[in-house]
Structure 1
Amino acid sequence: MKLNDLRDNQGARQGRVRVGRGIGSGLGKTGGRGQKGQKSRSGVSIKGFEGGQMPLHMRIPKRGFNNIFAKDYAEVNLGEIQKVIDSGRLTATDIDHDALKAVGLARGGKDGVRLLGKGELTAKLSFTVAGVSKGAREAVEKAGGSVTVPEIVPAADKHKAKHRTTQAAKKAAIQG
C-alpha cells in the first residue's frame, strides 16, 4: 500500500442534499417541508408560541424582585487598589471614580464607586467615592489616608429647599 492508494471508506464522505431540484431527487417540489404555511418558509420565528394558548414561560410563577431604583456601584476592594499601586499603574494620591476607571478597576457603576475593605492597604491615599464600607474606611484611615463621600441632594429636596427660602423671604417682607 502506498500513500496515493489511501481512500476514505465507501460512503464515509457524502455530498450535501440539494433540496427542491425535481421529483427524481426524492426531495423535490416542497423540499421536505410539507406544504404551505409559516413553517414551510424560511425565517420562521415561533419558538415558544403555543397556538394562542398561554405559553409555558408566561404560565409558570416568577420569583424574586428586581429593584429598578437600586444604585449601581462599581465595587472595588482595597487589596486590588494596592496591587495596582505596587505594579506602578496608579501613581496618584487623590483617587476618584475616573482614576479607578482609567486603571480598569471600576468597570460599570453608573452611580460611582463603592470602596470595600478586602485586602491590605499600605499607601497613604485620599479617596473621593460614592460609598464606603465601615471596614474600608477604618483601613484607609489606619494607613494615614482619608475618605470623602460627597452628599448628593435629590431633585425633589432641591425644590423643597428653594420653596423654603422663598417662604422665608415672604415672611420677612411682611414683618419688615
Structure 2
Amino acid sequence: MEVGFDVPLIVLVRSGDATAGGGDLNLTAKWVVREPTDSTATRLAVSGAIELPTGNAARGFGSGVADYDVNFVAEWPHSVGGTLRANAGIQFAGNTLTGLVGIPDRGVVVSAGGSGTWSIDSRASIGLEVTGYQGRSRIAADRELRAQGALVLLVTDDAAVAVSLQRGWFASPLLLAQLGCVLDF
C-alpha cells in the first residue's frame, strides 16, 4: 500500500500582476493488485483519491468542492530502461479544477491516459504523457486533452526536482510549465 498527499503552490500571472497561494489538499492511496515476480510481466494497481477544498476558490487557487475518484493502472517494463503505463478512471463527485486548470462541471468525469518513462542515467529520467478527461456534457468546457513532457533529476536518494512542459486542448491551458519537488519518506 502506498499513500501520498500534495498541496500545490499555484502562481497566477495575469497582465503582469502575479499572485500565489496553496491549492486544494489531495490525499491518495494506491494498492498493487498484481506484483509480478518476473521483471517483464504486467503490474496492475488501483488507486483512490480525495481532494479537499483547502485552496481559496475566489482567488483561483482551489475548486471549492471535494472530489472523490478511483483509477486503474497497468504497467509494462520495457527492455531499454523504460516503463509504459495505461490508466483509466472515474471521478464520482466534485470537479477536476485545480485553480484555473480543469473542468468546472461537477459530477462524474471519466479519464484515460498513457505514459512512458525512461532512465537517462542513474540520477535523471524523462517522461512523456497523454491524458484526456470528459465531463457529463459534450461541450468543449467539459473536455480536456493534454500532452506533457517532463525531466526528473535526483538530488539526493530521497529527493528530486521535476520540471515539465504541457500542451493542452479544449478546457486545458494552451501551454503550462510546472516545477516540482519530490520527497520520498
TM-score, normalization by structure 1: 0.20
TM-score, normalization by structure 2: 0.19
Say which one has the larger Rg.
1
- Which structure's residues are more often strand, by fraction? 2
Which has the higher relative contact order, 1 or 2, with Cα contacts under 8 A spaced 6 or more apart?
1
